[in-house]
Amino acid sequence: MAALKHIFNELHYEMVRKIADGGMGIVYEACQRGAGQFRKTVAVKLIREEYSTIPEFQNNFIGEARLVADLVHTNIVQTYHLGMIGGQYFMVMEYVNGVNLEQFLDRHVALGKSIPVDLAAFIVSRIARGLAYAHNKRDREGRLLGIVHRDIGPKNIMLAYEGDVKLTDFGIAKALDLMYNEEGQVIAGKDEYLSPEQASYAVTDARADIFPLGIVLTELLLGQNIFRNADRLESRKNILSMPIPRFSELRPEIDPKLEAIIQKALTRDRDQRYQSATEILTALEMYLYGDGYGPTNEKLGAYLRELMATG
């Protein structure tokens, strides 16, 4: 790492600390320096050294960078640059000063608190908003890119202390002409956050991101993923066949309107599920704001700052 820090310094990036350690890459907080004492905090994602010479991983990393370069939306972490140092690819990305949704959930468990129902629905509505943008993205020739994230889960959702909600890590997304994809042969995604299509090796479309969005919503509301099992195969079996409960029986504050949204998002037949991220976004916003004032970024930010300062 010392050698990489030296090289990054020459590229005007000062590595500050490791902030995430994933399967294929490592993410660091860094300070970008420029003329006139310009300084900007960024995130630098490095492809792991052991994968840096494998063409499949190189192509996926490059594909992810090319894909997200033009995804400019308030609910998606932006990517600024793709480069290579010492034979390793790296991406320079937007730095989100906050926590990921897994840390947010863990904090509530540690404090014995439940996430407020309206904030849980608000967080998921913002993810749906980012997904709706990504799913409808077209290239410069006007062709629909057909983006499917395929890895919706708490680790890939960031909450900023200002209250912004941002989707990140399109590392296993599929998109027209950009991403390595072997659907039908391999399962892309984490077993407890798969759609039934992914779990059964079927070819996916944008509706495959709606089911895990429903899983994330129920996990925020209940404090646990009901499909998770220590055995990965059992998690997949649960996704495919476990009876879907009435969530209002597990948490009484879940009213019939929200129950209906959850049940539709978790419909295994994708033709009966929400047909787009825009549809579930509209349903959640009608639920949140149909009777007047509802949660905002500012409310979420104030809640997050207080939560993380507690104890």
Q: Look at residue 99 and give its three-state secondary structure.
A: strand
Residues 6+ apart with CB under 8 A from 17: 28, 29
Distance of CA 196 to the CA centre of its chain: 18
CA atoms of 54 and 97, how far apart (whole Å): 32
**C-alpha dihedral sign at 201, 204, 207, 211:** positive
Active site annotation includes 151: yes
Q: Look at residue 85 and give its three-state secondary structure.
A: strand
Q: Which of 21, 118, 139, 151 is catalytic?
A: 151
Phi, psi of 234 (to 5 degrees): -65, -35
CA distances from 101 to 21, 23, 124, 195, 204 (A): 15, 18, 11, 19, 25
Q: Which residues are catalytic?
A: 151
